[in-house]
Structure 1
Amino acid sequence: MARFFALDYERDEDGAPVKDAPESKIGQVQIGSQRPHMDQSRMTATMFAAESQLSPDKLGVIHDNPSSADAIDRADGELNDLADETGRDIDDPTVDLMQDMWSLANNTVSLPADVEALACDMHDPAMTTRYSQRMALASLVTAGAVVPGEVVTYEAAGYSRATSLRLTEAYQEAERRKNQQAIAEQALATRSNPLTSALVAARESGVEQS
């Protein structure tokens, strides 16, 4: 900082020399090693990782031999299982708490149908990628377990509410065009068929056939 504070032992407050005063010297202060502090921080982070089932790499602990991908996946899997189990444990208590808060706020013990039907939907702690989520949903659609082209289907695939509505409208419009095209092709095939062309012509001309 180009500044320092020094005590001059060779002169008194008035600036007069002090007899037999020790000589003042300016030297460099040696900075202590940060190694003990870093080792203590590393040990604390490692202990926390062990208690919380986290990988030390996620806490900034750098090893000479870092954890392998399999070890990280195993640690993440154990943590995800714990989070999933915790979500199931607090599912019903969360709904009960919300219903009790509504009852207190409205000073009644009778719950309306929408409050009675409240449900808790916990997010998947594994944070499944959108690709795998959509591939799994596509398999369900193929198997007929999920209706295609519905808003809830697109939302289950990870799309936002607005995007799901737009995709639903586009799907329904495509289905209408497909049905219209099928009807037109069927009508053209009927006109081209020698067995039915005469009947179609007679019906269009208003002549009844017996």
Structure 2
Amino acid sequence: MNSSAFEQYLSTAVPIGKGNDRVVYRLPACPERCIKLPRYPLRGSEQSRREKKYFERLEARGIPYWEYIPRYHGAMVVENHGEGLIYDLILDKEGGVARTIRHYRSNQFDVFQGDAFCRAFEALCVFLMNYWIVPSDINDRNIVCVFTDQEGCRLYLIDGVSNPALFPIANYSSWFARRRIRKRLIKLAGKFKNYGLINNKQCNIIIEKLTL
């Protein structure tokens, strides 16, 4: 689909996600992928500019970040909409767009019963630390849950992956990166405990693993 045809598609398409800086659409010719476009094309998206560089660096490092983060597939300029970034679209086991933790908190809180969510959250934390992938923002709105018969629950960080620092030392130093990641994940673990998603013991175990 060329840029003009895609612009026509966007005129009637319903976004599958929207943030302060960007809006997300499913790609019609490749429905297992999505594109993140600037909400304000004339201004562009600082978040996309930062993300583009960060994901190119992740690719150059050769790490399998797509195990917990949608894989990046490059950029596409869309007429009158600016440059968009293309990613894998995380789907649930029925083939629908995976829902965020916040959605389940508000609508189906019972899915958090048992240990599956805690194990999934711990796995995400360990992965980000091991590969020192810095989340610029991590919360219950940009983590989606995929429930499977095999794993029970798997979490994906679908947005907010980059380092917004003016001098991004953490992009080049694993020590600085892990220090920043640890701080954000410990804060998130505390929030999840307050939400009732994990209990006090589970929270302490995760924090202990992050501080080893």
TM-score scaled by structure 1?
0.19
Structure number with the bigger relative contact order (C-alpha 8 A, sep ≥ 6) is 2
TM-score scaled by structure 2?
0.19
The structure carrying a bigger strand percent of its residues is 2
The structure carrying a bigger helix percent of its residues is 1
